[in-house]
Amino acid sequence: MIRFDQVTKRYASGHEAVHDLSFELAAGEMAFITGHSGAGKSTMLKLIGLIERPTRGHVTVNGQNLHGLRRGRIPELRRGIGMVFQDHRLLMDRSVYDNVALPLIIAGQSREEIARRVRAALDKVGLLERERAEPVTLSTGEQQRVGIARAIVAKPSVLIADEPTGNLDPQLSAEIMQLFADFQQVGTTVLVASHDLPLVKRMGKRVLVLNQGRLLDDWRPGGG
């Protein structure tokens, strides 16, 4: 689960990217964050992913209040959070397999366990037959799928994605969003930032609307 209690993030520039934000996403729930460019979507995800720290307030992920968390515990907590980025951040000189294996190698898993999990992850995103390919030979949509496989390979309980369809056409975008919904189906808590409001609405999930760092609206499927 993810909880924000009156969270404010002010960058060193003095700019307040997120202001007094409170919301809770239950374990196994899926939501989108939408809003114009600069609304604070990325900042919200960075606060969850322990890339940024709040200036005020508390962020809780998987029952762990991130405030005052000792540095040494950050890697362990990050392993429970899968992150997907718009630019997918793949290592272009490594195979698809190696890219997806990376989090497990860092976590010190055995070769056998890595092989089993990487293939399971690639199977879930429909890329099992491309494991030996180099990312440059894949389409943009396939590259994003590799990024998603890498994010979920360590079976995180929380999956966050920042504009994962930003570079994709509408058809591919819908397919990628459906993949995230599939991960929710198996129990993952999923939070996806996207400015593509028509696509977000079609998914029929909860939508958090950000405007200038403030929570403007919180739509839930079925009205309200």
Closer CB to ligand ADP, 46 or 78, in the complex: 46
Under a CB-based contact definition with an 8 Å cutoff, are residues 206 and 195 in contact?
A: no
Residues 6+ apart with CB under 8 A from 196: 34, 165, 173
Q: Contact between 219 and ligand ADP (CB under 6 A)?
A: yes
Distance of CA 71 to the CA centre of its chain: 22
Closer CB to ligand ADP, 142 or 163, in the complex: 163
Closer CB to ligand ADP, 43 or 165, in the complex: 43
Q: Which of 141, 172, 147 is nearest to 96 (CA)?
A: 147
Q: Contact between 161 and ligand ADP (CB under 6 A)?
A: no
Q: Contact between 201 and ligand ADP (CB under 6 A)?
A: yes
CA distance 35 to 192: 12
Under a CB-based contact definition with an 8 Å cutoff, are residues 156 and 82 in contact?
A: yes
Q: How far is the CB of 55 from ligand ADP (least distance, A)?
A: 12
Which 23-42 positions form the footprint of ligand ADP (CB under 6 A)? 35, 37-42
Which residues in this chain contact ligand ADP in the complex, by CB under 6 A? Answer: 11, 13, 15, 17, 35, 37-43, 201, 207, 219-221
